[in-house]
Structure 1
Amino acid sequence: MTDQTRLDEILAQLDAGQDAALTRLLEFLRIPSISTDPAHRGDVRDAAKWLCSELESLGFEAKIHDTPGHPMVVAHSAPGDARPLLFYGHYDVQPVDPLELWDRPPFEPEIQETDDGKVIRGRGASDDKGQLMTFVEAFRAWKAVHGSLPSDLVLLFEGEEESGSPSLQPFLSEHAEDLRASLAMICDTGLYADGRPAITTQLRGLVGEEVIIRAADRDLHSGSFGGLAANPVMILAQALGALKDGDGRVVLPGFYDGVEDLDEDLARDWQALGFDAADFLGRVGLSEPIGEKGCTPLEMVWNRPTAEINGIAGGYAGEGFKTVLPAEARAKVSFRLTGTQDPQKIRDAFRAHIRRFVPADCRVEFHEHGGGPASVMDVSDPAFAAAKQALTEEWGREAAFIGAGGSIPIAGDFKEILGMDSMLIGFGRDDDRIHSPNEKYNVESFARGARSWARILASLR
């Protein structure tokens, strides 16, 4: 039997077993595994047990590992001579509030007919239980045809992703030898906006910082003290306003150290996507792109670093008017990083910048709110071209290498702790309403997602 014949049989097996696969997913979705809510601690463990049982039934050696928080599920297939691959997903879900905005109970999932075809409606359908199960169903079909699982697989399914993954880094460090592979597969992303399959090959890093400036020991009358006493809101506004120059570039010393120009091949791929910035902004009531001059819109959201003020507060902002010099002002600022920018150097440079604006008789304090470097994958690894071709064949559209403006810390953790790149492939859609009421996952995404992983597995064996 040829490899292509076996692949065709695996794909046929997935098609024939789709109803049973959907039944399993609905069962999984009924478990309210909300990791942020202590009242659901037992439910999170129940979801881990459900997964562990499913994997054992397929022939994986699976185990639940306790952590200071929620469990990790780790599974292995039999060793062999294939390229070792790690598959990652998370089985915890977001809270469901506000409950009154759901059209049906969030943990009573169902298949619904919509104008866009059939969808799976329920919390966790897209983020990330439905995506995670595309792995599992691909493995199931593979075993049905081959008689055994693909060799040299490691599965890591997390129960804390929606609550900040506090146990993940220590767990990776402690179990590094047991988890290390040559490449990680992450199914927690989506199709490109126009529905074409995509592999995310770079993610921006993040530095989060809160700054508080305090001056007088009370709010002061602006008539009596204005013009003489320090005004923390004014000081903070001046400091934050001076973060960028007139061309939209961040002025912190050394900020662009490690920032690289976009690779020419990627630039051509991104240009071919036909991204329409006006349409993108129009969906949120805007029309004019701003940002760093000389960069395309996609470069600005995927390949260039940023400095953004996420919140600012101080003084009186209620009804009416109160003429005071506030005693305190605060702001939350985030930086998205690219290339090899150093998060700690960025944090230090920001703090030094703010201190230059603060008078000697005022006080400033800083609070760190997370940080991590950017992740850039080595697409010269033949696995990326093989996976791109597999996706193209499944979806009938040329797959694309894309970037992501946000951060997916697990990819950085895999690189830093386990020394391996990640291939981020997902099948979610922009309208899946993840983290919101009435979350859904298209049945097509679920079915073709499993078929996609079967193709990718076949291309890498």
Structure 2
Amino acid sequence: MADLDSVLGCLDLNLDRSVERLSALLRIPSISTDPAYREQCRLAAEFLAGDLGAIGFEAAVRETPGHPMVVAHHAGPAPTNGKPAPHVLFYGHYDVQPVDPVSEWKTGPFEPVVETMPDGTKRIVARGSADDKGQLMTFIEACRAFKAETGGLPCRVTIFLEGEEESGSPSLNPFLDANREELSADVALVCDTNMWNRDTPAISTGLRGLVGEEIVVKAASRDLHSGYYGGAARNPIHVLAKILAEMRDDDGRITIPGFYDGVEELPDDVKKSWQALGMSDETFLGEVGLKVPAGETGRSVLEQTWSRPTAEVNGISGGYTGEGFKTVIAAQATAKVSFRLVFSQDPEKIRAAFRKFVEDRLPADCTVEFHPHGGSPAIQLPFDSPVLQKARVALSDEWPNPAVMIGMGGSIPVVGEFKKRLGMESLLVGFGLADDAIHSPNEKYEMSSFHKGQRSWARILAALGEG
């Protein structure tokens, strides 16, 4: 505890210097999607490798067909009773989104400024401040303070920083496969997430998986005149609309047989903790002009978006949709359907069950084609994971409110790849806020997030180092 206190004190004392280091990184326009910034992406990688090397990591810029990776290693304390210290892999990304429209930025996107708000709080404004340069630097600063105060780190630490996260990560999977042994650890630490609110830290325990499917229902050999053939010829738009409507019952439950295989109920303590967050239906839906949840009856909006699977129609087309009116019976109708998965639902079983559901309802004179659009399983950290519990206590010790365990309706692909390719669970802890305007003009990162994020990682590292 004395060591941790000195590390926390070091972080407090050197906050201004850590802001200067972050600002230097933010000035590098590492936009991975634009080839014009290729050299700037390399410069960001070299900056980080150099900074990590300066605090005692064995750090290197590693080549890929695209933008380089940064990989750094640091030994932990000596083994205890022959047992090595825990090993963590920290993941972040140094690339950023484009800045358009530039005219909406109050200051230069790559000219970081510290703004003082009317309530006295401060924020760092620049592209990448929250996504993800500010987040990844919280971890590096925690390591820097440990080195300065104790001469070492409480765990074995590998840092893995990507340069293509904002452009689809085309080099990620081949790199993981080629370096599986080097990058494997006891647990991955992923910082690309948010807090519940500015005073309440969060651990994201689940990410929903995804299955995408495009279906094309065909009937006649050509579009038909609806006066001549109407009533006699099969209309594929009717057929498709009926099939899609039958996927959900009146209580919002998905009717595809076997769809809920692998879907578990939340533990009572987790459900109560979500209820305690006080998120009402009206608050959640109000900002988009809605007020009545459309998911499964009797479940809160947080359950519906964090821990329950979905079947959504993302697009539907057929027939004439241009200006004016054209009285035809379309030869085909198309829909794009996506399924968000939870717990241990199998993406390929869901895809097969959906296809059978459609085929079983296909009338005479109709055929169907299916076109897959990706599939990945959900990620669920066990609620009783010792790593999760240690992080929860560490975060609760740092922030005004206890840490909460939340779900995420979307996906972070790298978390799935760590599980699939490296066999690692991931602990998702980040300090962003919903209003940080990531991917938008005037992106910001709260100074409290940057400062207390550093202190939080110091506490988590100390807790994990205890074994």
User: Which interval holds the TM-score relative to the shorter structure?
Assistant: over 0.9
* Letter in structure 2 aligned against 1:103: K
The 8 Å contact of residues 122 and 447 in structure 2, kept in 1 or not, is answered as: yes
**Deviation (angstroms), 1:287:** 1.0
Cα offset for 1:61? 0.7
Cα distance in 2 for residues equivalent to 1:205 and 1:50? 34
- Within-5 A mapping of 1:83-232: 83-115=86-118, 117-193=121-197, 195-232=199-236
Displacement, 1:10?
A: 1.2
Return the alpha-carbon distance in structure 2 between the equivalents of residues 288 and 452 of structure 1: 37
Aligned: 1:442 with 2:446: yes
Give SS of 2:282's match: helix
Report if aligned partners of 1:61, 1:76 keep a CA contact under 8 Å in 2: yes
Distance 1:400 1:407 in 2: 19
| Counterpart residue number, 1:381 | 385
Change (3 A) 1:27 1:333: same
| Alignment partner of 2:39 out of 38, 42, 66 | 42
**Aligned counterparts, 1:36-435, within 5 A:** 36-79=33-76, 80-81=78-79, 82-115=85-118, 117-193=121-197, 195-359=199-363, 361-435=365-439
Name structure 2 gaps, 5 residues minimum. Answer: 80-84
Hey, what's the Cα distance between the residues in 1 that align with 2:224 and 2:298? 45
CA contact (8 A) 1:77 1:150 kept: no
Q: Following TM superposition, by how much is the alpha carbon of 1:361 offset from its aligned partner in structure 2, in angstroms?
A: 4.7
Amino acid at match of 1:88: Y
* Preserved contact between residue 201 and residue 403 of structure 2 (Cα < 8 Å): yes
Q: Deviations over 1:374-399 (max 9, x none)?
A: 11112433232221111111112111
SS at match of 2:71: strand
TM-score (norm 1): 0.94
| Structure 1 unaligned blocks of 5 or more | none
**Aligned partner of residue 210 in structure 1, secondary structure:** strand
> Which range moves more in the overlay, 61-70 or 182-191?
61-70
What amino acid is the match of 2:305? V
Q: How far off is 1:262 after superposition?
A: 0.7
Q: 2:6 aligns with which of 4, 9, 16?
A: 9
Q: Where does residue 25 of structure 2 map in the other structure?
A: 28
Deviation at 1:363, TM superposition (A): 4.5
Moved more, 357-366 or 287-296: 357-366
Q: Distance in 2 between matches of 1:335 and 1:94?
A: 27
Deviation at 1:70, TM superposition (A): 2.4
Q: Distance in 1 between matches of 2:379 and 2:219?
A: 40
**Residue 87 of structure 1: how far off its partner (Å):** 0.6
Please state whether the residue corresponding to 1:46 is helix, strand or coil: helix
For 2:221 and 2:191, the matched residues in 1 are separated by: 52
User: Quick check: 2:281–2:300 contact (8 Å CA) kept in 1?
Assistant: no
1:283 Cα shift? 1.4
2:438–2:444 Cα contact (<8 Å) kept: yes
| RMSD after superposition | 1.9
Aligned residue type for 1:91: Y
State the Cα distance separating 1:406 from its structure 2 match: 1.4
Q: TM-score, normalised by structure 2?
A: 0.93
Counterpart code for 1:370: G
Q: Percent identity?
A: 57
Counterpart secondary structure, 2:278: coil
Distance 1:247 1:460 in 2: 44
Query: CA–CA distance in 2 between the matches of 1:68 and 1:214?
Result: 42
Whole-Å separation in 2 of the counterparts to 1:105 and 1:322? 51
Alpha-carbon shift at residue 358 of structure 1 (Å):
4.1
